[in-house]
Structure formats: structure tokens, C-alpha cells
Amino acid sequence: MASPVTPPRGMRDFLPGDKARREHVLGRIRGVYRAHGFDEIETPVMEDASRLHAGLGGDNEKLAFAIMRRALTQDDLRSAETALELADLGLRFDLTVPLARFYASNRGQLPSVFRAIQIAPVWRAERPQKGRFRQFVQCDIDIIGEPGVLAEVELIAATASALEALGIPGCSIRLNDRRLLTSMLTVLGFTSASHADVLVTLDKLDKIGTSGVLAELRDRGHEAGAIEALAAVPAFASFGAEAASPDHDAPAAGVALTAGSIAALLPAGVDEQALADLAAIAAAVGHLAPLAFDPFLVRGMGYYTGAIFEVAHPDLGYSLGGGGRYDGMIGRFLGTEVPATGFSLGFERLIDLVELPADDGEGDAALVYDRDVDPAALMALKSTLIAEGARVRLVQRPKNLKAALDQLAADGFARFAAVTAATGQDASALDWRPLESSR
């Protein structure tokens, strides 16, 4: 056939080894989150198109795969103004919009503080590039209904435990609070209307440095006095020095996280509650994971309303996950405000960092049988071994036995036995040989 047999662009097949590895890592994450009191839920992969395009998904909304209405006529095509009119559903681009819809639909059956696990694929029609896929798995935990910092504390503790269980050492958690960002901008003299725009520029600090940020703010026409005041903020003024130091990857690491130490990095007059909350979070989880206050951590999504955090790894140029408080959003589908916090682990980014113990395959057995063996006798042997607890694979004796045995060893089988027409059905009479090295 003419069409290529590769998966669709930007998507992947997982062979047995990859699949086993992924499921093993997901199982560990799931186990940790469950131990921390979270419960797994599942929603359909698709949502109503109107919900996916309700403004809660930021730039990701444009990347949604659209599903065409069924039974469209040529007239429907002719009369449509835009392609989106022909779509009634779309594939989810994140797990947060579906969670908000799920909570609105099912809250009567959920506890008043609901701790959700969602481990599932999402789809984005991005230009594929190295390490970025059009179908990828997200691992989210969310706490809905808890207004206090205990929610942030539980999320960070669960995340730190998950990273520990995965054996990814050296991660730190960068913390900030949206209320600190916006109150700081107000104090510096940026108008409320300009905050969103200023934050977009500030979010580039890691990439373009302080001079780049100041230049871009000037280019975009922001108030000169406010820009000058930003340049004088202690944490901003010292950012370049830190960036040039070997400690670049852990910005502001080593700063003890108390309300006073945080305030000292910022202009006077920032949000007091946010300072107190960050200090309370640090006091509760500082011993579980290295924390770093990052006054210029912004995180892209516009829906954050309080504390925000990211997992930083010293060897990587990107974060392994992030989250924060988003009190306004869950209620959008309910008409009432519902406090919420969430954390999303970038599964595709961390899977390659995880070192798994080699599968010892203890007991896993291969039966290498001759072509003329009776299927009933062979099946009887296999059934007996499975009943004894073994994983059993049948392999017809090939010309190149050594290559087949090497393959079995690579697939985790520990032993093999030959089965001939004379062997019979007595599994205890099999002559086992080890498979660690081929012979």
C-alpha cells in the first residue's frame, strides 16, 4: 500500500520494552500519589468544542485537535464561515479543563476536599520537535475545595515523594506567588491594565537577562519610572550576577525562606498574605525538598491566583513539572468560586531520567519446542508452569538457536528447556538451562 506505516506525525508507537518501562514508572507515581491520599479519576479523551475554547486553556486552545460533526453534508461545508463550526468535539489539550468539567458534573458524589489523580494522554497539534510530541502523557494531582496553604503543602510533599520514588536526585522546587508579582508591579508603578503584558516579558528573564527584559519593556512602551524601579528591585539587580555564577541553575537557592528573607528581595509594600503563605509552605515542606524562592517565576497560564511552583533539575534546561493555585477556574463551570491547586509532572521529560532495576525475570521460562511436538502436550506443559507462577513463552526451535536464546535473555526470561515429541506432559521432567548468557 502506498501510505507510510509510521504513526501519525509527532506520535509514537511503544514497543514492549518501552511500554513496560512507561507503565512501571507510571505505577510508581500512581502509588506515591495514592499513599498521599489522592484518588484517581478518568474523563473521556474528548470534550465539547465550546468548552475547550472557553478561554481556560490559554494558547493551548489553538492547538486542540478538532473532531468533525458526523453526517456533514456538502451544504454544511458550503455554509460554514470557519472550519471550527464543523467541529462539535475536540481532544483535550490538558487535564485541567476536563477536571473543572468533571468536578462541576460530579461534585455531589465527591468529598468536600477532593484530591484527584489524573494520569492520561493529552493532544496538541504543535510542530513536532525533539522531545515534544503531539500525544503525550500528563500526571496531574489537584486539590479542590481547600483554600489554605495545606493544599500547596500536600501537593509539594507528594511531588517530592514521587521524585524520590523515581530515583531522580537533585531536584529543587522553585516557588513564587502571583499575588507577589502583581503587588510588586503595582508598587513599582505599572498600571493594572499592563500587568499581563509586563509578566510576558518578565517570564523571559532566564533567556534574555535583565538588560533584555528592561529593553523589551521600554520597546513595548511601559512607563519609564516603573521600569527604572524594577531595575532597582534587589532580586532583579542581583539576577545577572547569579546567572553568571556557577549557581545559575538554582536561582536564589540558599535564601532561607521566611517572610522577612523573601520581603528583603522585593520592594516594600508587596502582598503580606502572600509572604506569610510562602513562609508557611516553606516551614512545612522545606525538609522534604530543597526550596528556592524565585521572585520572577511567572508560569504561562493566566488562571493562576496564588502560590506557583516548578520542579527544577540541575542538569536540565527545562522544568520537570509545575503548578499552582487557580481559585477562579473550577467555579467557571459552576457559577461559584471554588478554591483549587494543582501540580502537573512532565512525564515525557522525566521518563528518560528514571533508572529502573533490571527485571530479574526470576522463574520466567521459555519452552523451545520442535516442529513435530503435539500442541496439546506443549500447552499442558505451559499451563503447568504458569500455574507454578512462571511467565512462559513458547519458541519453535529455529535454525539459529543462539540468536533466539539471546533474544529471550534480553526479554527477561531466566531459563529455557527443550521440548521434543518424546518429552510428554510431565513438566517436572524438563531439563532447565539458565539464560543469563547464551550457550
Q: Specify the residue, 107 or 204, whose C-beta has the smaller distance to a second copy.
A: 107
H helix or E strand, kind and range, residue 137: strand 135-144
Per-residue CA distances from 129 to 9, 122, 134, 322 (Å): 10, 17, 10, 21
Q: Specify the residue, 231 or 333, whose C-beta has the smaller distance to a second copy.
A: 333
Range in contact with a second copy (rule: CB under 8 A) among 148-156, 167-175, 308-316, 429-437: 148-156
Q: Specify the residue, 71 or 193, whose C-beta has the smaller distance to a second copy.
A: 71
Range in contact with a second copy (rule: CB under 8 A) among 7-15, 178-186, 224-232, 298-306: 7-15
CA distance 97 to 231: 37
Answer yes or no whether residue 337 interacts with a second copy by CB under 8 A.
no
Residues 154-193 that bind a second copy (CB under 8 A): 154, 157, 161
Answer yes or no whether residue 148 interacts with a second copy by CB under 8 A.
yes
Residues 371-400 that bind a second copy (CB under 8 A): 375-376, 378-380, 382-383, 386, 390-396, 398
Q: Would you state the cell numbers that stand for residue 405, as one nine-digit string?
A: 536464546
Integer-rounded Cα radius of gyration of the chain: 28
| Adjacency order of strands within the sheet including 172-177 | 39-40, 114-123, 135-144, 340-345, 321-325, 307-312, 172-177, 291-293
DSSP 132: B
Range in contact with a second copy (rule: CB under 8 A) among 3-11, 184-192, 228-236, 240-248: 3-11
CA angle 68, 72, 78 (to 5 degrees): 105
Q: Specify the residue, 39 or 272, whose C-beta has the smaller distance to a second copy.
A: 39
Q: Pick from 42, 228, 272, 337: which binds a second copy (CB under 8 A)?
A: 42
Answer yes or no whether residue 1 interacts with a second copy by CB under 8 A.
yes
Range in contact with a second copy (rule: CB under 8 A) among 201-209, 278-286, 309-317, 346-354: 278-286
| Chain centre to alpha carbon of residue 270 | 32
CB of 298 to a second copy, least distance (A): 25
Residues 77-106 that bind a second copy (CB under 8 A): 77-78, 80-83, 86-87, 89, 91, 101-102, 104-106
Range in contact with a second copy (rule: CB under 8 A) among 72-80, 249-257, 312-320, 428-436: 72-80
Give alpha helix (H) positions in 203-352. Answer: 205-219, 224-231, 234-237, 239-244, 259-263, 272-285, 347-350
Residues 224-253 that bind a second copy (CB under 8 A): none
For helices 272-285 and 150-165, the axis angle rounded to 10 degrees is: 40
Range in contact with a second copy (rule: CB under 8 A) among 10-18, 213-221, 346-354, 415-423: 10-18
CB of 222 to a second copy, least distance (A): 33
For helices 178-188 and 272-285, the axis angle rounded to 10 degrees is: 150
Answer yes or no whether residue 418 interacts with a second copy by CB under 8 A.
no
Q: Pick from 28, 43, 194, 406: which binds a second copy (CB under 8 A)?
A: 43
Answer yes or no whether residue 23 interacts with a second copy by CB under 8 A.
yes
Q: Pick from 21, 24, 28, 34: which binds a second copy (CB under 8 A)?
A: 34
Answer yes or no whether residue 74 interacts with a second copy by CB under 8 A.
yes
- Which residues, in sequence order, are CB contacts of 274 under 8 Å at separation 6+? 177, 179, 180, 183, 306, 307
CB of 64 to a second copy, least distance (A): 10
Residue 40, helix vs strand vs coil: strand
CA distance 178 to 301: 11
Q: Specify the residue, 61 or 249, whose C-beta has the smaller distance to a second copy.
A: 61
Q: Pick from 254, 317, 335, 357: which binds a second copy (CB under 8 A)?
A: 335
Largest Cα span, the chain: 94
Range in contact with a second copy (rule: CB under 8 A) among 59-67, 172-180, 209-217, 240-248: 59-67
- Which residues, in sequence order, are CB contacts of 336 under 8 Å at separation 6+? none
**Pairing, β 307-312 against β 340-345:** unpaired
DSSP 201: H
CB of 124 to a second copy, least distance (A): 11
Range in contact with a second copy (rule: CB under 8 A) among 75-83, 216-224, 241-249, 259-267: 75-83
CA distance 413 to 364: 5
CA distance 309 to 322: 5
Closest CA to 308 of 152, 188, 145: 152
Answer yes or no whether residue 407 interacts with a second copy by CB under 8 A.
yes
CB of 337 to a second copy, least distance (A): 14
Answer yes or no whether residue 110 interacts with a second copy by CB under 8 A.
yes
Answer yes or no whether residue 289 interacts with a second copy by CB under 8 A.
no
